[in-house]
Amino acid sequence: MTSLRSGGEFSLPVRVYIEDTDAGGIVYYVNYLKFMERSRTELMRSLGFDKNFIFNEDLMFVVRDVAVTYFKPAKLDDALNATASITGVKGATIIMQQSIRMGEDVLAAGHVTIACVDKTGVKPRRLPKSMLQTLRGASARA
């Protein structure tokens, strides 16, 4: 079950499957980014910005910057939580702090900057006003 915790942190449960691991049974590094992507998507959905909203507004989101630090490995069948917190919102960008946790242990942590672009020309565009207000309200640093 997904949840939005106090302080604006969103948490999504994730189970590690065989497809997520390398030959040694350890989660392959790029899959942490996939877990983070799911958490960001579900956070946006929980705020009312699902696929229909985004398509109707003729916009898309693209990752502009990402930095991840890996601390401990996750393994096959581990139960994890992928978290996302909005830490900044500008005219055309959303900045998030994210983590992959197992219990209280942080396995990976990162910062992701998402840029809003128009769907047709894939050029930067401002966030819709209603979205900007909602995201700023949901920001952990609002």
Q: Which residues are catalytic?
A: 22
Distances (CA, A) of 80 to 13, 45, 63, 103: 6, 20, 23, 7
Cβ-contact 21, 76 below 8 angstroms: yes
Q: Two tokens at 28? A: 């392959």
What are the E-state strand segments in the chain? 3-4, 9-15, 59-70, 79-89, 93-102, 105-118
Cβ-contact 113, 64 below 8 angstroms: yes
